[in-house]
Structures are given as C-alpha cells and as structure tokens.
C-alpha cells in the first residue's frame, strides 16, 4: 500500500456549541481517487478545510505530505489543486487575468495544458467571471485547480452546477487521468453513482464520525442485502452485529448485512431465521444503511 | 400573520434591530461624539458662546456630519432590499419597510442629537428643520441607490439631486452663496409641501427601482463597461505576466482595493471646493479648509484600510475566502505586501492632497498681498501623514483579522468611555471631571503602548518578525516619541492639561504606527486558519 498523502488523527472540531467533527481518523494513500461521502452537515467540507489549512485543528492532528498545512501553507498548498463548493472566484477578473494571476503561484503551471482546458471548457478569455453561469464558474475553478498538475486534487462537491456531459465525461475522465498518473484525488460528494464510478476508496462520514473507510471493491463485496423470514414475528429489529439496517415487519425482513456468506448464515441461524435471498447491493443502499439506518428502524417501530 | 405593510414592517424591523442593534447604538453614539467632544472642549475653555454667529456654521456642519454618519449606519442595518424579493411581499411593501423606518430613524436621530447637545451644553438649537431635511436627504439617497444600483449613472443622478436639496437646506440658513446667517427656526408650510413632494418622488423612484431590480431589469450603463474593457485591452492587460506570487497578489490587492483611499481623497477635494463656494469664498478660507482636510485624511485612510484588509468574498463577510486562503503564499509575505499596498495607496492619496494644497497656496499668492500666509508649523505635514498611516493600517489590521468582534469591542469601549465622560462632566465637580479625562486618556496611551508590545512579542514568538525588525521598529518608535516629547515641551497646552499625561497619550498613539508590522501577519494568520 502507498504511503498516506493525508493523515488525520482523532480530529475534533466545534463551531460554537455544535460538535462537527468528533474524533475523525483518516488515512488517505498516495495515488488513486478517494471519495468522502456524507449527508448534508456531516462534516465533509470541514474535513477538507482542515486538510487545506483553512481550519486549525482544535484537537488531534492533520498532516498533508507529512506537513502541517496551517504551519506550512506554501509547502502544502503549492502541491494542491482545490475547487471549493461555492465556486468562489474573483468576479472582477477576466478569464485570462484569472489564468495569469493563478499561474504566478505555481511553478509547475503548464500553460499549454491550461489553454487546452480552457478550450475544452469553452471559456472565453475576455469574459468576466461575474458574467459566468454557475456551471461555467465551476469549469473556470477546475481549470485553475488542474493546470499546475497538482499532486493532490481536492474537489468539494465537484459536480454541483455541472451539466451531465461535463460531469460524466469530462470531470470523470480528468479524475481518472490524474489517478492513472499516480496522483491523488480527494473529493466530497453525495452523488453516489458518481462516486461508485470513479472512486478507488471511500469514507462515509456521518454526524462527525467516520462510519466506514475502505476500498470501493471491498465495500461493495462486503455488504449484501438479505431477505429473511423469522420463525416468530417481531415488531422492530434494531441494527446489531452484522445487521446494519432492517426494513420490514412481522416475519419478513429485508436486511443490509456486512460480512461474507458464512457470517450471514451463522447470524441468521442465531436468529432462527430462514434466508430467502441474498443479493449484491449498491453503494447508494450501503450509504443509506450506514447513515439513515437508525432513522429507518425508528420509522418501522412507529 | 396578515401581510399588511404595517405587520411586515414590524416583523422586519424587529429583525433589523436584532441583527444590527449594536451598530445602530454605536452609530448613534459615534455620530454624536464629535460635536460633543468639540463643543464640550470649547465650553471647558469658556469659548462656547451661544450668541456667536460662528455657532450657526458649527450647528449646520455638525448636523450634516452626524446625519451622514448615522445615515450610513442605518443603510447598513436596513440591508439590501434584494433579500426580500423571494418573499411573498408586494413591491410597495418592500419599499415601505426599506424606506419609512430608516427615514424615521434618521429623522429621530437628528432631533435627539440636537436635543442632547442643547441639554448638555446649554444651547438653543432648533430641532425640526434639519431633522426633516436629513430625513428627506436620506430617503433620496435610498431611492436613487435602489434605482441606479448597477449603473454609473448613480453618481450624476444622485449628485444632482443632493446638490438641489442641499441648496434648499442652505437657503433656510441664509443666502445660498455665503456663510449661514441664521438658524432654521421656523418650518414653513412651503417647507412642508416641498418635503412631502420630495418624499413622494423618492417613493416613486424607489418603487420603480425595486420593480426593475426584482425582475433583473436594473438600469445598467453598458457604454462605460465597454469603454473600460476597450481601454484595458488597449493597454495590453491581455498580455499580463507576473514574475512571482507576490507580484500577482500585489496586483490583485491594488486593482481591487488599493485605489479606495486615493479615490476618496479625489472625491473630497471637489466637494470641498463646492462647499467653499457656499461660504465666504475667500482664498484664505479655502487654504485653511484644505489644510484641515490633511488631518481629516485619517478618517478616509481608515476606511481605505478597512477595505484593503477585507479578504472576504464580499463586503458583508470579512472571513478570508477559500479562493485566497488556498493560494500558496506565505502569510508573512502576504501581510507585508498588504502593508506595501497600504503605503502605496497612502502615497497616492497624500500626493493628491498635496497637489491641491499647493494649488490653493499658489492661488493665495496670486490673490495678492492682502492675504498673508499663516505661520508655518513644521510638524503638521509629517503628523498628518503619520496619522493617516496609523489610521489606515489600524483599519487594515482590524478587517484583516476577519472578526467583527474587534471593532465591536473598540466601539463599545469608546462609547462606554464617552457616556461615562459625559456623566462625569455633568454630575461631578470640574476638577474631578478634568482628572477623569486626563487619567483615562493617559491610561489609554499606556494601554495602546502595551498592546503594541504584546503584538510584537507574540509575532516574535511565532517567528513572524525577527529581532532585526523588532529593533528597527523600536528605534523608529523611540525617535517618534523623542520628537513628540521635544515638541510637546514647545507647545502651549490648555491650563487643565498635564504635559506628562499628554505625553503618555501621544506615545501610545505613536506606538500604533509600528503596531501593524507585527499585527498584520498575526491578523492574517488568524483569518486564514480559523
């Protein structure tokens, strides 16, 4: 396994009385595409802002390229390309000014690549940023983030505002190209089909805690949907053991289980349940099971 | 809830006070503080003579200053009407909320301010006339802002309207082209009709503005945008190449914010010339006014510094935007280039002022020997530049921190001190009031000095400055303090004042001249990594 490009250890962060990150520990290896998943307010952007040195760790530590991003912004940010969630760009600049300005910060800036990206994204060099649509702003932001060929590309909700063609064909291709060159992409998203398509590894963040962190194949192969028939009817089925999510009532239940077939058989026997069917499961279902499982179980109870 | 204008106004007004009560309080006390300070000092020296005709001009001038200062606060508190556009409110309801309470606030503030001055200082200034006038001027300002918010036509349109209204207000204080000759004691029925007409016009203009803005049909002057783009193309800005990050960021800061202070100075100068036309028109008066403006540059410099230090993505948020914060540029280098930009901005502003001052001096020479020059005071010019530098960099550091809590604390301390000083002055014997003022002012000097030392100590500990820079700053401060000490020994001071207390205050203020070299990197670092 590659050495970690980002190491986050027991990171805690509060804004006022609200605890946003509650002991996040995460190790992101060099190379590949890492997807950070989470619902609204899960703390994804807060994690990304810590890795960029925009937030100082209140407790725990953050290392990027082995450096503290707050103490050494030049050493870390010079090797990072970043696209923010809100697409903040200076409205008063023209596209060519934005490119010239950004170029000055990065010794590895590739003018030819920048120009090819500008053509690919169909950005008029004389256009003012303030006249761009949200999607065009996202493209301009991507151009600036990519043109210096960063070792680490951090994308905060990159698909937001992009049309399906750009999102699927262009962004996806760029991300894969970077990963194939041995560089690293860290992106946050709640578009799970997109994550499933491009990510090599994922972490699911829920209520400030890492619920799951593993390779994409491992995640998909390690979870299954199991249809059970219980010997005696129950009114509710709290998540426990390998069963991380349950839907149903009475004798018949549809469960999301974590483990291999043997584990599932043993757990079903302990419940005195008959396994009706075992199916592969999508990332979407795993995410819902991991983050909304308790809510759904509570819904069944009610 | 019944969505009548009254109900909506009540709810939105409550929201405005909840969000901005601190600014409204600070704006009210701050606006009132200048006349109270100056008139209080005059009264302490026995120079406040109610019957003096000069008091009419003082009243007229202070009314404008307090009205403008509080009006700006109310505009900020009322916020942009666009935030109400998606609510199920009619255009008249939105305008009603935006205009009527804010206008009433300005009207009330002008009346209450004058009343407080009358009570505390034994004056007998009229309350109603100027209050009506400033309410009307405020409404004019608001309505034109609404209609021309995205247009460069705003300047000539608003300027023209304000000049007409100012002429009317001036005419109520005597002939238009002379010094004010009397107070505006009687509000005639003609005044009331004119006032009502202007308010109705403002309402109509504001309504038109909201109707256009709500559907994205604002008045925009494309010609100026086209000209600006053409000129920038002609000067080869397409081929812009920066040697390094510092040069690129310096360009960013200067282009976006650096011209604020020179622009304010440039705007103030013709305004002064126009105002001068309405006074006694003597060249000596103009020379004196421009010279005094050298000190007033500090206020403009502080505004320029606050804008220069704003690293947020908008005027409303001073928290550093991720676009800037993620630029690989060292915090210390960034803070230095900001200080360099502040210096450049200051040089341009001062140059404009110097050129205008020299022109007035030439004008006085050309006017002949009947206007002898005033005695030359050597330290005024460097003092004015130093004051402007201090104000600009203090403003820069405050906004660079990205935290509104610092200006709030400073404003709170200032207002608290002012109110206490007024109470002490009114309720205690004169010797105690003098002692209180001297004690607090010298204490303020010591606190400022200690804050500067603390900032340097912290910056040294965090290696944001080195020993050589600290030594240079210390030597510069020592030189300034020694010069001030020497000068104070040669200055005549008022009987109640003590040289040592003045020296402490001046030393503390002078320490602020070197404060930003340590405070700017600290402020930027705290804004960048929160």
User: pLDDT tens digits, residue range B330-379?
Assistant: 999 999 999 999 999 999 999 999 998 888 888 888 877 666 666 777 78
What residues contact residue B437 under an 8 Å CB cut-off, 6+ apart?
B421, B424
Report CB contact under 8 Å: B529, A77.
no
- In angstroms and rounded to an integer, the radius of gyration of the C-alpha atoms of chain B is 25
A67 at B interface, C-beta within 8 A: no
Shortest CA distance from A100: residue in chain B: B241
Give the model's confidence band at B75: pLDDT under 50 very low, under 70 low, under 90 confident, else very high.
confident
Would you state the pLDDT for residue A264?
84
Residue pair B398/B306 in contact by the 8 Å Cβ criterion: yes
A60-74, B262-276, B311-325: which is most confident? A60-74
Question: Across the interface, which of A78, A88, A100 has its CB nearest the CB of B323?
Answer: A88
- Written as six digits, the tokens of B143 are 């309505």
User: Per-residue pLDDT for B275 more than 90?
Assistant: no
Output the pLDDT for position B234: 66
- Those residues whose C-beta lies under 8 Å from the C-beta of residue B393, and which sit 6 or more positions away, are B305, B339, B342, B512, B513, B515, B516, B520
Residue A56 contacts B where some CB pair is shorter than 8 Å = yes
Residue A103 forms contact with B (CB below 8 Å):
yes
**Model pTM?**
0.79
Residue-wise pLDDT tens digits, B406-462: 877 887 787 788 778 777 776 777 778 778 878 888 888 999 999 999 999 999 999
Do the Cβ atoms of B529 and A92 come within 8 Å? Answer: no
Most confident of A178-192, A218-232, B152-166, B199-213: B199-213
Closest CA–CA distance from residue B324 to any residue of chain A (Å): 9
Residue of A52, A101, A125 with shortest CB distance to B252: A101
Inter-chain contact A104–B330, Cβ cutoff 8 Å?
no
Cα B62 off chain centre by? 14
Average pLDDT value over all residues in chain A: 84
* Tokens linked to A260: 């291999």
> What was the pLDDT predicted at A91?
83
**Is the pLDDT reported for residue A299 higher than 50?**
no
Is the minimum CB–CB distance between A65 and chain B shorter than 8 Å?
no
Please, which residues have CB within 8 angstroms of residue B282's CB and are 6 or more apart in sequence?
B371
Arithmetic mean of pLDDT, A111-126: 90
Yes or no, beta carbons of A54 and B331 under 8 Å apart: no
Query: In B401-429, where does DSSP find H-type helix?
Result: 405-427
Taking the CA of residue A37 and the nearest CA in chain B, the distance in Å comes to 21
**Chain A: residue nearest B252 by CA?**
A101
Is B228 near chain A, with CB under 8 Å? no
Averaged pLDDT for residues A257-269: 83
Tell me if chain A has a CB within 8 Å of the CB of B61: no
Least Cα distance to A64 among B529, B14, B450 occurs for B529
Instruction: List the single range of A107-111, B214-218, B290-294 with lowest mean pLDDT.
Output: B214-218
Both structure tokens of B225: 């945008």
User: Cα(A206)–Cα(A110) distance, rounded to whole angstroms?
Assistant: 38
Is the Cβ pair A105, B229 closer than 8 Å? Answer: no
- The whole-angstrom distance between A58's CA and the closest CA on chain B is 10
pLDDT at A28: 92
Q: Say what the pLDDT of residue A300 is.
A: 40
- For helices B283-309 and B331-366, give the axis angle rounded to 10 degrees: 170
Supply the pLDDT for residue B221: 61
- pLDDT for B223 beyond 60: no
Tens of pLDDT, residue by residue over A2-33, are 678 999 999 999 988 888 898 899 999 998 88
Q: How confident is the model at residue B4 (pLDDT cuts 50, 70, 90)?
A: low
> What pLDDT sits at residue A296?
44
Q: Give A-chain residues touching B240 at CB under 8 angstroms.
A: 96-97, 100-101
Q: Are A156 and A188 in contact (CB under 8 A)?
A: yes
Taking an 8 Å cut-off on Cβ atoms, the answer to whether B256 and A90 are in contact is: yes
Write out pLDDT tens, residues B49-71.
Answer: 877 877 888 888 888 888 888 88
Q: Domains of chain A by range and CATH? A: 4-207 (3.40.50.300), 220-301 (3.30.70)
Q: Angle between the B515-528 and B467-490 helix axes, to the nearest 10 degrees?
A: 130
Cβ contacts of A104 on chain B, cutoff 8 Å: 242-245, 247-248
User: Nearest CA to A160 among A127, A130, A131, A194?
Assistant: A194
Q: Does the ipTM surpass 0.90? A: no
Contacts of B257 in chain A (CB under 8 A): none
- Chain A: closest CA distance from residue B228 (Å): 12
Least confident of A100-114, B206-220, B347-361, B441-455: B206-220
Per-residue pLDDT tens over the stretch B114-160: 898 888 888 888 888 888 888 899 899 889 888 887 776 777 788 88
Smallest Cβ–Cβ distance between A55 and the set B252, B328, B530 belongs to B530
Confidence of residue B220 (pLDDT cuts 50, 70, 90): low
Q: Does A15 touch chain B (CB under 8 A)?
A: no
Q: What average pLDDT does the structure give for chain B? A: 84
pLDDT band (50, 70, 90) for residue B489? confident
Is pLDDT at A298 greater than 50 in this prediction?
Answer: no
User: Average pLDDT in the A112-124 region?
Assistant: 90
**Chain A residues closer than 8 Å to B248 by CB:** 100-101, 103-105
Q: What percent of chain B has pLDDT over 90?
A: 27
The confidence score (pLDDT) of residue A295 equals 41
Burial of B442 (C-beta count, 10 Å sphere; 0-12/13-18/19+): buried
């Amino acid at each position: 396994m590659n050495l970690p490009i980002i190491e986050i250890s027991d990171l805690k962060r509060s804004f006022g009385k609200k605890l946003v990150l509650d002991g996040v520990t995460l190790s992101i290896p060099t190379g590949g595409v890492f997807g950070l998943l989470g619902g609204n307010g899960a703390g994804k952007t807060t994690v990304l802002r810590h890795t960029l040195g925009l937030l100082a760790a209140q407790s725990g530590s953050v290392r990027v390229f082995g450096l503290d991003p707050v103490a050494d912004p030049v050493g870390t940010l010079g090797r990072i390309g970043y696209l923010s969630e809100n697409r903040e760009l200076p409205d008063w600049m023209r596209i060519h000014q934005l490119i010239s300005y950004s170029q000055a910060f990065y010794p590895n800036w590739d003018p030819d690549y920048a120009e090819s990206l500008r053509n690919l994204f169909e950005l008029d060099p004389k256009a003012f940023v303030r006249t761009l649509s949200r999607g065009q702003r996202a493209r301009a932001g991507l151009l600036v983030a990519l043109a210096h060929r960063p070792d680490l590309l951090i994308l905060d909700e990159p698909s937001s505002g992009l049309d399906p063609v750009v999102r699927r064909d262009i962004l996806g291709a760029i991300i894969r190209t970077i990963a194939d060159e041995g560089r690293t992409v860290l992106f946050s998203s709640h578009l799970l089909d997109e994550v499933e398509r491009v990510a090599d590894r994922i972490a699911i963040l829920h209520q400030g805690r890492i619920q799951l962190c593993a390779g994409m194949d491992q995640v998909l192969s390690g979870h299954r949907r199991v249809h059970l028939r219980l010997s005696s009817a129950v009114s509710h089925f709290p998540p426990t053991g390998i069963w991380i999510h349950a839907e149903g009532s009475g004798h018949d239940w549809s469960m999301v289980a974590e483990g291999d077939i043997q584990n599932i058989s043993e757990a079903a026997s302990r419940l005195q349940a008959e396994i009706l069917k075992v199916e592969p499961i999508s990332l979407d279902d795993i995410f819902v099971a991991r983050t909304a499982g308790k809510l759904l179980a509570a819904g069944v109870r009610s | 809830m019944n969505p009548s204008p009254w109900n909506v106004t009540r709810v939105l007004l409550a929201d405005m006070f909840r969000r901005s009560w601190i600014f409204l309080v600070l704006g009210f006390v701050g606006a009132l503080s200048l006349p109270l300070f100056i008139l209080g000092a005059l009264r302490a020296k026995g120079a406040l003579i109610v019957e003096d005709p000069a008091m009419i001009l003082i009243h007229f001038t202070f009314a404008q200053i307090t009205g403008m200062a509080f009006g700006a606060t109310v505009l900020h508190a009322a916020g942009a009407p666009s935030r109400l556009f998606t609510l199920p409110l009619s255009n008249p309801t939105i305008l009603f909320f935006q205009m009527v309470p804010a206008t009433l606030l300005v009207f009330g503030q002008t009346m209450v301010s004058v009343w407080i001055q009358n009570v505390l200082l034994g004056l007998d200034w009229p309350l109603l006339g100027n209050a009506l006038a400033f309410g009307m001027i405020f409404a004019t300002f608001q309505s034109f802002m609404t209609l021309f918010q995205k247009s460069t036509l705003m300047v000539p349109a608003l300027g023209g309207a304000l000049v007409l209204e100012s002429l009317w207000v001036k005419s109520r204080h005597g002939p238009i082209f002379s010094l004010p000759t009397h107070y505006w004691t009687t509000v005639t029925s003609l005044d009331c009709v004119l006032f009502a007409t202007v308010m109705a016009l403002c309402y109509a203009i504001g309504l038109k503005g909201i109707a256009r803005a709500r559907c994205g049909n604002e008045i925009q002057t494309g010609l100026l945008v086209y000209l600006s783009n053409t000129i920038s193309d002609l000067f080869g800005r397409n081929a812009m190449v920066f040697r390094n990050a510092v040069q690129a960021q310096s360009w960013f800061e200067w282009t976006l914010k650096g011209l604020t202070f020179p622009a304010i100075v440039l705007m103030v100068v013709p305004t002064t010339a126009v105002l001068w036309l309405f006074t006694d028109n003597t060249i000596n008066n103009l020379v004196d006014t421009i010279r005094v403006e050298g000190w007033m540059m500090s206020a403009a410099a502080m505004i320029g510094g606050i804008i220069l230090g704003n690293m947020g993505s908008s005027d409303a948020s001073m928290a550093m935007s991720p676009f800037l914060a993620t630029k690989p540029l060292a915090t210390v280098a960034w803070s230095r280039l900001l200080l360099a930009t502040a210096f450049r901005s200051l040089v341009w502003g001062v140059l404009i002022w110097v050129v205008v001052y020299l022109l007035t001096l030439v004008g006085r020479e050309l006017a002949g020997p009947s206007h002898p020059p005033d005695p030359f005071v050597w330290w005024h010019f460097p003092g004015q530049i130093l004051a402007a530098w201090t104000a600009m960099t203090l403003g820069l550091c405050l906004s660079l921190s990205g935290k509104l809590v610092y200006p709030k604390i400073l404003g709170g301390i200032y207002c608290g001190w002012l109110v206490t000083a007024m109470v002490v002055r009114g309720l205690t014997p004169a010797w105690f009031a003098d002692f209180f003022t001297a004690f607090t002012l010298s204490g303020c000097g010591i606190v400022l000095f200690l804050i500067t030392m603390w900032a340097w100590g912290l910056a040294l500990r965090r290696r944001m400055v080195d020993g050589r820079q600290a030594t240079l700053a210390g030597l510069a401060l020592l030189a300034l303090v020694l010069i001030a000490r020497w000068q104070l020994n040669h200055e005549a001071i008022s009987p109640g004042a003590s040289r040592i207390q003045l020296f402490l205050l001046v030393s503390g203020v002078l320490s602020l001249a070197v404060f930003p070299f340590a405070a700017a990197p600290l402020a930027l670092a705290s804004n960048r990594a929160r």
